[in-house]
């Protein structure tokens, strides 16, 4: 290649000169301190020289390949050298004759820059240089040997361009540097090209190596050169470069970033979801219809945002107001509507596709969609994940009713890496194997090996991940991992193709998500329930002085149910639009001038929500926010005027005794909240006041350990006041102060409660009953039972215990699942250990109440049984002043800590278990004991055993001992028996409710609810765990 050689000599005088210089310097024994850049250049020229000579000798006949071969050499040498580097140095130190190795190392230095620290390199260079000094005459020989070594065909060079190899190319201090130069906006590429031209025209005058123009970086180009001066020289006189601007050096570690541009190699094909980047449709979802790669244009269909009125006037030639203050909402084009406005609609056939389009003023429409051809640059194709709503909208006009989310498969294009994991249940959605279900065995890049378990099919089966979708069944507990509901957990209640309907753990609302966006998880998160200082279900004051309850969290925003009693009004409110949280404790008066405080139960007696009932959660400006868990909208919150409501505390028993009025329909046995009727209320005698009186009478004497004692109030506005306690109710006591009776928190009084009397216990009992949420309180019960036996009315006792027992039950079975949760999410369940100990006692509790004959409980009695419902209000006031006096009871730690962490701690949960079971209670004559269920037998004075009920007659059960009923048969009273709570996947028998007697499979447990697949009809039902018993095949 003589031509090149010549050119080199002519053009690059500097080059040879440098080489000479370098050799001279080497003679000086490698003691070159400062001239690092010169050195560097010397080095590289040296290298180049070799390389060039290699090429010359090998490839004289092949001019074309000249360039590539040379580069190839360099890379190859580098490979060799990297391996030998270490030896290399060692050898050099004590044996300078290792010329060949040296040479090799030398090359390695130059190319293999990235692997070493700069300083080290300098050191090594010194060794090197010495080596060269002493063996100068061998250079030719060295060259020859190198040529021999590398004169293999060049194909084997960079056969695999792996990342590792790329690492070896990282820049070093001896490489040219990158300089950032400011240029005119939009001229970046032009400047780069002009500099190239200049270089060609001027030859080696310009000592820059390259110029980089990035598409995404405006206003700057990068120039690769050794010295800033070279850059300045090169850009001198360039039109679009601001020469007087500062030239910035790119730090060496950022150099690769400059050159690492993402190749926008995304398959933009039909049916890909994209988003518009600019204009009216900015941010809108669109679907690719056609791609013209040559012209860089893409045809998309999207939902038009067209103001037909404006369009009509525009087409008429009338003036259209220029100010486009608003963007018309997306709406499908209605051609008839357009015609009515006298807009000319042409129907044309597209010659290419044969489809008909309506052409309105140059815009094409079909099926209501607008078809738009835009530049590829004006759409975003990467990481487009349409939201559920968007897709739903997009599907509307197709009206095929299938709900098949058309380009669903394209959704998968944006899957994250590691989407599928071993063990995932999947379903094939495409190809011959469509609808085949299986489990992921192994994931290998895009190929997923699945195990189908089907005969005749190879196992495992390799399927492209694009053809797979995750598969879930109702009852699965899942966590949403992407999309708008990310982070939420819930139970799958319905599977509709690739769409799952979840019952969210947090909101108890139905959430629709793509199967692809969830993973199975036993974790129960409450999701995000807090933004800033605001939490879900807070009462907040908004900017415009309206107020409302936050009922749902979205991205950086709350859905707020406004305090509008006339109709439910929900607003989406950004965090900054919320002024403050309102948590003042206010009391208002109901229609009958009874006092309503927070947590009181009220019934709405007029207005749109008439008949609803629940505890008051917030009160503001005479508006109540009532929480009714049967109210499925607005997270269960109902807004009502206080004057439209009545306090229902006292009315329970009366109402229920009458049977089946609105109360029982709503099955809200909510007890009066801590506010007991005041004397005034007494006199006025609101609804069912008397009934309440009677109800109280029943329990009467029990609550009164404090009654009559004089106490001093420690906290609150009445701090320091003294007075006799006139009433004790839950965590509140009413204290008469100078003829004034006020309500204060129980914590807020300093009573002389150190008394521990049996009667105390009784009162505790009532408290306990009000707070079923605190399982650890149950230990109390044993000792009150005798007390009750003696003191309380039999009537009372009889119906109460079993009820309670039931009431407790829902919680008992919760313990095992809790364990699972703990596994799934160790961190979040710190409280469970405390919780669990509580459960067994609840069982123990029922033991000492034999023969209470609860089964005969008259219908009316369940009003009292409703007491547990007090929990709704009481549990919030967990700590009680009684605690100190009842040492050794685990209740406080657990009850306090229980709330935040455990799912049961969610406000709705206390109700859950109890409410669901209320029908059972209502139909109280119904006995839960049935044949073929597994029970635990607690006979007085004996250890408990498990057995299977074999026969029931006259209220006595024949029970076969042993978990499968293989043991002796004994007789037992139902009161001595307790259902053994079934576990997930157990076969269960439903012992209550309308499905009583049915057998099913417990496919999931959600708090106190069990999800049961009934065997007869395969229906999936959500039933209270309390009415589920483990079924044992006779």
Partner 1 sequence: MGEVAAQIPTSFGQELRACLRCRLVKTYDQFRDSGCENCPFFKIDEDPERIVDVTTPNFNGTISMMDPRRSWAARWLRIGKFAPGCYALAVSETLSEDMQSLCQEERVQYIPPKRI
Output 214 or 341, the one with its CB closest to partner 1. Answer: 214
169 near partner 1, rule: CB under 8 A: yes
DSSP state of 886: S
Contact flag: residue 262 with partner 1 (CB under 8 A): yes
Span of 164-172, 764-772, 927-935, 980-988 interacting with partner 1 by CB under 8 A: 164-172
Task: Give the shortest CB-259-to-partner 1 separation in angstroms.
Answer: 6
Residue of the chain from 46, 127, 132, 199 that contacts partner 1 (CB under 8 A): 199
User: Distance (Å, rounded) from C-alpha 835 to C-alpha 842?
Assistant: 12
- Binding to partner 1 by residue 419, rule CB under 8 A? no
**237 is a site residue for partner 1 (CB under 8 A):** no
248 binds partner 1 (CB under 8 A): no
User: d(Cα 711, Cα 724) in Å, to the nearest integer?
Assistant: 6
Strand partners, 708: none
Please tell me whether residue 259 binds partner 1 under the rule CB under 8 A. yes
Is 464 a binding residue for partner 1 by CB under 8 A? The answer is no
**Binding of residue 70 to partner 1 (CB under 8 A):** yes
434 binds partner 1 (CB under 8 A): no
Cα-based distances in Å from 381 to 277, 301, 391, 494, 680: 10, 14, 16, 32, 70
Residue 878's nearest CA partner among 802, 775, 763 is 775
Is 251 a binding residue for partner 1 by CB under 8 A? The answer is: no
| Cis peptide bond upstream of 646, omega within 30 | no
Q: Is residue 44 part of the contact set for partner 1 (CB under 8 A)?
A: yes
Q: Least separation, in Å, of the C-beta of 186 and partner 1? A: 10
Q: Tokens 């180009």, residue?
A: 221
Nearest approach, Cβ of residue 10 and partner 1 (Å)? 9
The site map against partner 1 for 294-333 (x = CB under 8 A) is x-x-------------------------------------
CB of 319 to partner 1, least distance (A): 35
Cα–Cα distance between 64 and 901 in angstroms, integer? 73
- What is the per-residue binding string for partner 1 in 103-142, x denoting contact by CB under 8 A? --------x-------------------------------
Q: Contact between 387 and partner 1 (CB under 8 A)?
A: no
CA-CA distance, 486 to 527, in Å (whole number)?
8
Beta bridge mates, 129? none
- Residue 962, C-beta contacts closer than 8 angstroms, at least 6 positions apart: 946, 947, 948
Which one of 24, 119, 137, 159 is in contact with partner 1 (CB under 8 A)? 159
79 belongs to the binding site for partner 1 (CB under 8 A): no
Concatenated DSSP letters of 685-724: --TTHHHHHHHHHHHGGGGTTSTT-EEEE-SSTTTT-EEE
CB 649 within 8 A of CB 596: no
DSSP type of residue 524? -
Question: Between residues 114 and 368, which has the closer beta carbon with respect to partner 1?
Answer: 114
**80 part of the interface to partner 1, by CB under 8 A:** no
* C-beta separation of 708 from 752 below 8 A: no
- In the numeric block, which tokens belong to residue 299? 């045809």
State the binding string over 749-788 for partner 1 (x if CB under 8 A, else -). Answer: ----------------------------------------
Residues contacting residue 259 through CB under 8 Å, at least 6 positions apart = 212
293 vs 790 by CB, closer to partner 1: 293
Please state the closest distance from residue 220 (CB atom) to partner 1, in A: 12
The answer to whether 509 and 561 are in contact (CB under 8 A) is no
Applying CB under 8 A, among 22, 39, 74, 655 the residue interacting with partner 1 is 74
Out of 22, 39, 69, 773, the residue judged to bind partner 1 by CB under 8 A: 69
Find the shortest distance in angstroms from Cβ 441 to partner 1. Answer: 25
The least distance separating partner 1 from the CB of residue 68, rounded to whole angstroms, comes to: 4
Residue 380 as a binder of partner 1 (CB under 8 A): the answer is no
The window from 193-201, 593-601, 805-813, 981-989 that contacts partner 1 (CB under 8 A) reads 193-201
Nearest to 435 by CA among 452, 411, 412: 452
Q: Which two tokens stand for residue 914?
A: 């109890």
Q: How far is the CB of 81 from partner 1 (least distance, A)?
A: 15
Q: Is 544 in the site for partner 1 (CB under 8 A)?
A: no
Euclidean distance between CA atoms 394 and 402, whole angstroms: 13
Number of amino acids touching partner 1 (CB under 8 A)? 68
Any residues with CB less than 8 A from the CB of 844 and at least 6 apart, and which?
778, 779, 782
Query: Of the candidates 42, 105, 131, 171, which one interacts with partner 1 according to CB under 8 A?
Result: 171
Q: Enumerate residues 6+ apart whose C-beta is below 8 A from 911.
A: 629, 869, 871, 872
Give the CA radius of gyration of the chain.
41
Residue with tokens 């009871």: 889
> Using an 8 Å Cβ cutoff, are 102 and 92 in contact?
yes
Of the candidates 914, 947, 922, the one whose C-alpha atom is nearest the C-alpha of residue 1025 is 914
Residue 259 or 925 having the CB closest to partner 1? 259
Quote the least distance from Cβ 170 to partner 1, whole Å. Answer: 8
Smallest gap, in angstroms, from Cβ of residue 196 to partner 1?
Answer: 4
Position 255 contacts partner 1 (CB under 8 A) = yes
Q: How far is the CB of 123 from partner 1 (least distance, A)?
A: 22
What is the token pair recorded at 502? 């979840």
The three-state secondary structure class of 737 is strand
Question: Per CB under 8 A, does 157 bind partner 1?
Answer: yes
Q: What is the DSSP string of 132-188?
A: HHHTGGGHHHHHHHHHHHH-S-GGGTTSS--HHHHHTT---TTSPEEEEEEB-TT-H
203 binds partner 1 (CB under 8 A): yes
At 362, list the tokens. 């140059």
Quickly count: other Cβ atoms within 10 Å of residue 182's Cβ. 18
Figure out which of the listed residues 84, 145, 149, 209 binds partner 1, where binding follows CB under 8 A: 209
Select the residue interacting with partner 1 from 146, 192, 413, 706 (CB under 8 A).
192
Interface pick for partner 1 out of 151, 197, 219, 710 (rule CB under 8 A): 197
Q: Whose Cβ is closer to partner 1: residue 12's or residue 936's?
A: 12
Comparing CB distances to partner 1, the nearer of 274 and 753 is 274
Q: Which two tokens stand for residue 451?
A: 């195990």
CA dihedral 601, 603, 609, 615 (to 10 degrees): 0
Among 256, 313, 529, 897, binds partner 1 (CB under 8 A): 256
Beta bridge partners of 356: 349
Q: Which of 8, 25, 129, 358 binds partner 1 (CB under 8 A)?
A: 8
Rule CB under 8 A: choose which of 190, 404, 535, 1015 binds partner 1.
190
> Which of 37, 68, 115, 589 touches partner 1 by CB under 8 A?
68
Would you tell me how many other CB atoms lie within 10 Å of the CB of residue 202?
Answer: 10
Say if CB 941 and CB 950 are below 8 A apart. no
Choose among 911, 810, 798, 913: nearest CA to 860. 798
CB under 8 A: which stretch of 5-13, 522-530, 594-602, 1009-1017 binds partner 1? Answer: 5-13
CA 783 to chain centre: 46
Asked if 357 and 364 touch (Cβ cutoff 8 Å), the reply is yes
**Beta-ladder partners of 464:** 447
User: Distance between CA atoms of 316 and 311, rounded to whole angstroms?
Assistant: 8
One of 31, 263, 544, 790 touching partner 1 (CB under 8 A): 263
Q: Which residues 6+ apart lie within 8 Å of 90 measured at CB?
A: none
Give the nearest distance from C-beta 245 to partner 1 in angstroms: 19
Does position 161 interact with partner 1 (CB under 8 A)? The reply is yes
- Which residues of the chain form contacts with partner 1 (CB under 8 A)? 4, 7-8, 11-12, 44-45, 48, 51-52, 64, 66-72, 74, 111, 153, 155, 157-159, 161, 166, 169-171, 175-176, 178, 189-190, 192-193, 195-197, 199-200, 203-204, 206, 208-216, 224, 255-256, 259, 261-266, 293-294, 296, 376
């Amino acid at each position: 290649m003589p031509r090149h050689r010549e050119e080199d000599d002519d053009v690059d005088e500097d080059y040879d000169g440098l080489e000479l210089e370098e050799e001279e310097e080497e003679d000086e024994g490698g003691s070159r301190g400062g001239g690092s850049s010169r050195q560097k250049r010397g080095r590289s020229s040296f290298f180049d020289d070799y390389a060039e000579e290699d090429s010359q000798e090998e490839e004289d006949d092949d001019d074309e390949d000249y360039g590539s071969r040379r580069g190839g050499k360099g890379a190859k040498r580098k490979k060799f050298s990297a391996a030998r580097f270490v030896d290399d140095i060692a050898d050099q130190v004590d044996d300078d004759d290792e010329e060949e190795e040296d040479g090799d190392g030398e090359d390695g230095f130059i190319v293999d820059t990235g692997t070493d620290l700069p300083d080290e390199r300098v050191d090594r260079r010194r060794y090197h240089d010495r080596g060269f000094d002493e063996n100068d005459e061998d250079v030719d020989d060295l060259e020859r040997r190198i040529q021999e070594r590398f004169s293999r065909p060049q194909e084997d060079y960079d056969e695999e361009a792996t990342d590792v190899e790329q690492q070896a190319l990282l820049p070093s201090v001896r490489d040219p540097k990158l300089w950032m130069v400011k240029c005119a906006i939009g001229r970046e590429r032009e400047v780069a090209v002009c500099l190239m031209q200049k270089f060609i025209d001027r030859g080696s005058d310009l000592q820059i190596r390259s110029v980089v123009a990035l598409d995404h970086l405006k206003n700057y180009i990068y120039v690769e050169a050794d010295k800033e001066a070279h850059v300045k020289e090169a850009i001198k006189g360039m039109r679009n470069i601001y020469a007087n601007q500062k030239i910035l050096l790119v730090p060496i570690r950022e150099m690769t970033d400059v050159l690492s541009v993402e190749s926008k190699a995304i398959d933009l094909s039909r049916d890909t979801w994209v988003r518009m980047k600019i204009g009216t449709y900015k941010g809108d979802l669109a679907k690719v219809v056609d791609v013209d790669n040559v012209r860089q244009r893409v045809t998309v269909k999207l939902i038009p945002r067209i103001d037909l009125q404006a369009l009509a006037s525009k087409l008429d030639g009338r003036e259209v107001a220029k100010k486009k203050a608003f963007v018309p909402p997306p709406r499908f084009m209605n051609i008839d509507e357009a015609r009515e406005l006298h807009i000319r609609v042409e129907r044309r056939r597209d010659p290419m596709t044969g489809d008909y389009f309506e052409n309105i003023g140059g815009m094409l429409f079909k099926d209501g969609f607008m078809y738009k051809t835009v530049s590829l640059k004006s759409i975003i194709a990467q990481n487009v994940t349409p939201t559920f709503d968007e897709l739903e909208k997009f599907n509307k006009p197709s009206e095929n009713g299938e709900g098949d989310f058309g380009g669903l498969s394209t959704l998968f294009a944006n899957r994250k890496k590691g989407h599928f994991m071993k063990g995932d249940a999947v379903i094939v959605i495409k190809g011959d194997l469509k609808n085949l279900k299986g489990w992921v065995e192994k994931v290998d890049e895009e190929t997923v090996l699945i195990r189908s378990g089907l005969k005749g099919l190879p196992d495992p089966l390799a399927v492209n991940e694009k053809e797979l979708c995750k598969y879930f069944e109702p009852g699965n507990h899942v966590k949403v991992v992407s999309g708008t509901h990310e982070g939420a957990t819930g139970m799958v209640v319905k599977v509709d193709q690739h769409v799952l309907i979840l019952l969210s753990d947090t909101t108890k609302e139905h959430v629709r998500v793509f199967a692809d966006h969830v993973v199975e998880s036993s974790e129960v998160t409450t999701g995000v329930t807090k933004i800033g200082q605001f939490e879900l279900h807070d009462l907040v004051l908004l900017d415009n002085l309206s107020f409302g309850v936050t009922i749902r969290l979205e991205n950086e925003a709350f859905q707020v149910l406004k305090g509008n009693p006339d109709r439910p009004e929900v607003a989406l409110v950004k965090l900054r639009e919320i002024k403050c949280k309102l948590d003042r404790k206010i009391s208002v008066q109901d229609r009958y001038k009874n006092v309503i405080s927070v947590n009181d139960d009220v019934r709405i007696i007029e207005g749109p929500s008439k008949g609803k009932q629940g505890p008051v959660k917030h009160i503001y400006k005479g508006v109540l926010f009532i929480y009714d868990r049967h109210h499925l909208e607005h997270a269960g919150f109902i807004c009502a005027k206080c004057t439209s409501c009545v306090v229902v505390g006292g009315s329970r028993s009366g109402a229920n005794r009458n049977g089946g009025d609105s109360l029982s329909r709503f099955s809200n046995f909510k007890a009066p909240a801590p506010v007991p009727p005041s004397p005034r209320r007494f006199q006025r005698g609101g609804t069912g006041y008397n009934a309440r009186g009677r109800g109280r009478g029943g329990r009467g004497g029990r609550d009164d350990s404090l009654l009559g004692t004089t106490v001093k109030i420690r906290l609150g506005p009445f701090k320091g006041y003294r007075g006799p306690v006139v009433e004790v109710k839950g965590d509140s006591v009413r204290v008469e102060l100078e003829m004034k009776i006020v309500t204060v928190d129980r914590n807020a009084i300093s009573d002389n409660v150190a008394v521990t009397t049996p009667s105390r216990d009784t009162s505790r009992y009532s408290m306990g009953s009000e707070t079923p949420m605190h399982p650890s309180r149950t230990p109390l019960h044993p000792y009150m039972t005798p007390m009750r036996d003696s003191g309380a009315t039999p009537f009372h006792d009889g119906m109460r215990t079993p009820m309670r027992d039931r009431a407790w039950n829902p919680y008992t079975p919760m313990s095992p699942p809790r364990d699972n949760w703990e596994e799934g999410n160790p961190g979040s369940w710190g409280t469970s250990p405390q919780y669990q100990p509580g459960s067994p006692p609840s069982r123990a509790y029922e033991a000492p109440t034999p023969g209470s004959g609860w089964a005969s409980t008259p219908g009316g009695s369940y009003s009292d049984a409703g007491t547990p419902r007090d929990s709704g209000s009481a549990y919030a006031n967990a700590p009680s002043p009684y605690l100190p006096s009842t040492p050794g009871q685990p209740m406080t730690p657990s009850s306090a800590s229980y709330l935040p962490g455990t799912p049961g701690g969610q406000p709705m949960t206390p109700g859950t278990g109890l409410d669901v079971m209320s029908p059972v209670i209502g139909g109280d004559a119904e006995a839960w004991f049935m044949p073929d269920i597994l029970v635990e037998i607690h006979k007085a004075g004996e250890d408990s055993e498990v057995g299977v009920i074999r026969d029931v007659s006259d209220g006595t059960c024949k029970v076969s001992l042993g978990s499968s009923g293989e043991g002796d048969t004994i007789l037992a009273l139902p009161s001595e028996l307790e259902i053994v709570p079934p576990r997930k996947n157990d076969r269960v028998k439903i012992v209550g409710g309308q499905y009583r007697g049915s057998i099913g499979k417990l496919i999931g447990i959600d708090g106190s609810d069990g999800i049961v697949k009934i065997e007869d009809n395969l229906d999936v039902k959500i039933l209270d765990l309390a009415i589920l018993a483990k079924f044992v095949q006779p």
